[in-house]
Structure 1
């Protein structure tokens, strides 16, 4: 840089002296009419200031003092050829070289967030069922509030709020508007009849042994036995590339089993509901009590069998886990009748009471929960219910778990604790995205087993691993891996060691915006929430919820990694 400066200085100085010499010998050319020296001397040497300006001008004119015009070293982007060719070229120059032994060049240092104190598990479970509110309450409408949401939070009927506040249009409430919430005054109390044992709705030990196909063979004329899933109507506005290339129809048994496995609900409960509601097991078609639906008429969208069973399973789960967390003190029936819950009923009985409250008014609800209602239908189909011994999990028995990806790889912690399957299940799952995830692309990375066990289910994007090795997903600890791509997915009945390959992360098996793996736990058929009683610890990192759905942290030795919805350095994790 210094040598260039001196070259410029010498160049400019030399040029200046040449001009001075020419002007010095100007008298020689005085008689030359073509060289008006006097005029030049008058103009250029009139004052000292002009001489200085001349020197500066000559310096810039020679370009030695001006910044040198730079030539860009960046190659222009080729916008003529397709983007695919650009991607291909990039991959050729920088090919993907990850293998099973791949290690990052530098182990990531998780972003440390200073929180005082370190995170604690929020308490979702109450110590006791809340007492009924005997007086009116006040609520200020916040952004996102609806009458339905407000009514659910205060456990009162929507119509009670509408009438109390003389709301003409319940769809038009304003942020900041103050509403009077009526007191919880029940019309009567639940009589407390036990419908099922404590954990009777769950996919427990005997549910695993129940053979759906054998049962339906005994009912050859039933609607469920002969049901074939109809092909969905194509969306005329959708592009061809957005439509599914093929449709494989499922029969009734396949839909029932898949729903039971996914939600961890005993299939016999769903069968009994179909028979009790519409005789769909003993007859060739639903009897019309719920129009074209087999369990509950919820509109044309919910008429297909798969949606009916999914709604019933999710509603049962919601009633079951809300009761276990002591969040419910009142049933609001379909006709706005308020029923005070009986604190002595068990969780499975409460789950069925909750489901029937969504369908029936007072008279029909009381019949459904009576000994001559659903309970009798179940016994006629499957015999008297047995109170299976199903203990609650103990943390000491929880197996040691690792992250569901290979050691040394850098994945992203994209979701903190959230629902295990659908909204009715507790916050029992977390998500991780692979390094090469871009939308729902085909990832080259592998989901790996977090613990040794045996694969007891592997289809429809879902892999279930039984950790006690008995092959019964209704007993002991199991791990749920969701969004596992069909390509290279592990087969059922495969014994796996810790770190064994399960399959590739994807969007298969449920709603997803990008390829990832969803990891959750069950014990004796029950979804296990991530909380203080049953913490989830992966490779020494403990999972914490912030109390907001999908938000949470990983914590180890005071270092925190926060979950981000998208991939970012702040959410990267390795072990």
Structure 2
């Protein structure tokens, strides 16, 4: 009862209060019912003497380039002014409605408060996701300028979610008849493939929405609906001018990694600021959703702050072009909201190897897919969703083994290629929906084929070094839900045969815990990492 009284009092106070400063002023905190109906904003930089300039291009393009999205701006006066921090300290609290995927520690980090300072009638714990729509009353501790509180992209349009089920990459690209429709890319694992096949492969493997990949490619280089805007964008379409990242696929990997760093960093509460090419920083508004943060972060890596503000404008920037290309993303997302349903739990899983056979826990939580070079991205991981196991062996390295990897749960094999076996636990045949398990580095020999229904303990194949990057024979094991990688040590614990995964203080560090028992990960498969399934 006291909490209800407090909330009512705060509600009456906040009606006339001002929130934190933003480059577009203060906008209302989104609610579950109106999150997709943001108040349209005019272009704050229309008519400015600072046009959008693509920093790495030798010939700065204009928006009027063939097939480019052409905005219809309204000219207004606009100036970014410093935040009055003393005024913010007296501001009324935020009334924040939890969004799908929120967890208490991350929300506290975004709002710059302690977890204990967050008030709600709901039962808030660190070990579960907060249900979508739960009201949280949070002190206003934001004492610096922030990005706009405007949601420009739903989470479901970032990850490889059910909204991608009806989208045919090849059909769409061919219908646009742009540069990408006839482009061919060279992949070391497959040789020459069509550009649209490269986009689809990247979307599936990285679990990212193919519409998003086409949209950022079109916005930065005009590849989808027209021709590259200049020679530089022909070789470096995302504008990341690094000789190691020449070509479509590697440029898109760079973009994917940046968006993943932001998306999952926001989920975890480890990302709170943007940093622009000139070194200036801007705090992310704590009420944003992960999808919006992913878009804002990517463009902050490519453009100045003033250019970035124009790009994220929902009326005339990237969001407007996205809707022009693919229709309203919020309507598609609404069909599957929330991405994480209330009280979501992991289904029962067992260790992915046969009972009585010795394996080693060689890797605690680390990146679910791909390698992230900290010299390029500033961080080494995006989402700590995967763990590693290696079969017992007399030698180290990529040594063939006859030891079997087995199914941790019943499901349908929906992918079996390039060292990958993806098992769909709901059996509908789509890895965009429900729970899916990734078994990576499965040898070609004896690997289970697509279409096979597996029961728990059925054989999948043998651990190897095939697929991705590997320095030794092992199994890389990760979970996805509705296309989103699920953190191994987070609000939906990774539990195998009663053992819970606990992250360490660095990638690949960690433990398996069951009651008073602990198994510690070790890359060299030392004795303390050994485990025999009962």
| TM > 0.5 | yes
**Matches of 1:252 and 1:291, distance apart in 2:** 13
Contact 2:228–2:234 (CA<8 Å) still a contact in 1? no
* Residue in structure 1 matched with residue 417 of structure 2 by the alignment: 459
* Residue in structure 2 matched with residue 275 of structure 1 by the alignment: 218
SS at match of 1:534: coil
Pairwise CA distance, 1:291: 6.1
Does residue 1:555 correspond to 2:489, yes or no?
no
Pairwise CA distance, 1:570: 2.3
SS at match of 2:265: helix
Does residue 1:201 correspond to 2:158, yes or no?
yes
- Tell which deviates more after alignment, 205-214 or 310-319: 205-214
Output one character per residue of 1:401-437: Cα deviation in whole Å (capped at 9) or x when no partner.
0111111211111111112124453211110111236
Pairwise CA distance, 1:131: 4.4
SS at match of 2:402: coil
Does residue 1:499 correspond to 2:443, yes or no?
no
Unpaired runs of 5+ residues, structure 2, are 1-103, 114-141, 371-379
Does residue 1:127 correspond to 2:108, yes or no?
yes
What are the within-5 Å matches in structure 2 for residues 78-477 of structure 1? 125=106, 127-129=108-110, 131=112, 189-219=146-176, 221-230=177-186, 248-288=191-231, 290=233, 292-371=235-314, 372-385=316-329, 386=331, 387-388=333-334, 389-392=337-340, 397-422=345-370, 423-436=380-393, 438-477=396-435
Contact 1:395–1:533 (CA<8 Å) still a contact in 2? no
**Matches of 1:331 and 1:557, distance apart in 2:** 41
SS at match of 1:479: strand
Output one character per residue of 1:373-402: Cα deviation in whole Å (capped at 9) or x when no partner.
111221121111123313425666421101
TM-score normalised per structure 1: 0.63
SS at match of 1:430: strand
**Matches of 2:247 and 2:456, distance apart in 1:** 40
**Matches of 1:459 and 1:279, distance apart in 2:** 32
**Matches of 2:270 and 2:197, distance apart in 1:** 34
Contact 1:413–1:433 (CA<8 Å) still a contact in 2? yes
Q: Aligned pair in 2 of structure 1 residues 249, 496: CA closer, same or farther (>3 Å)?
A: same
Q: Aligned pair in 2 of structure 1 residues 504, 265: CA closer, same or farther (>3 Å)?
A: same
Contact 1:256–1:267 (CA<8 Å) still a contact in 2? yes
Output one character per residue of 1:300-327: Cα deviation in whole Å (capped at 9) or x when no partner.
2112111111111111111111222233
Contact 2:221–2:233 (CA<8 Å) still a contact in 1? yes
Q: Aligned pair in 2 of structure 1 residues 341, 291: CA closer, same or farther (>3 Å)?
A: same
SS at match of 1:324: helix
* Residue in structure 2 matched with residue 573 of structure 1 by the alignment: 531
Pairwise CA distance, 1:449: 1.1
Contact 1:286–1:294 (CA<8 Å) still a contact in 2? no
**Matches of 1:124 and 1:408, distance apart in 2:** 39
Q: Aligned pair in 2 of structure 1 residues 211, 412: CA closer, same or farther (>3 Å)?
A: same
**Matches of 1:281 and 1:503, distance apart in 2:** 39
Q: Aligned pair in 2 of structure 1 residues 338, 559: CA closer, same or farther (>3 Å)?
A: closer
**Matches of 1:559 and 1:288, distance apart in 2:** 60
Query: Cα RMSD between the aligned structures?
Result: 2.5
Pairwise CA distance, 1:476: 1.1
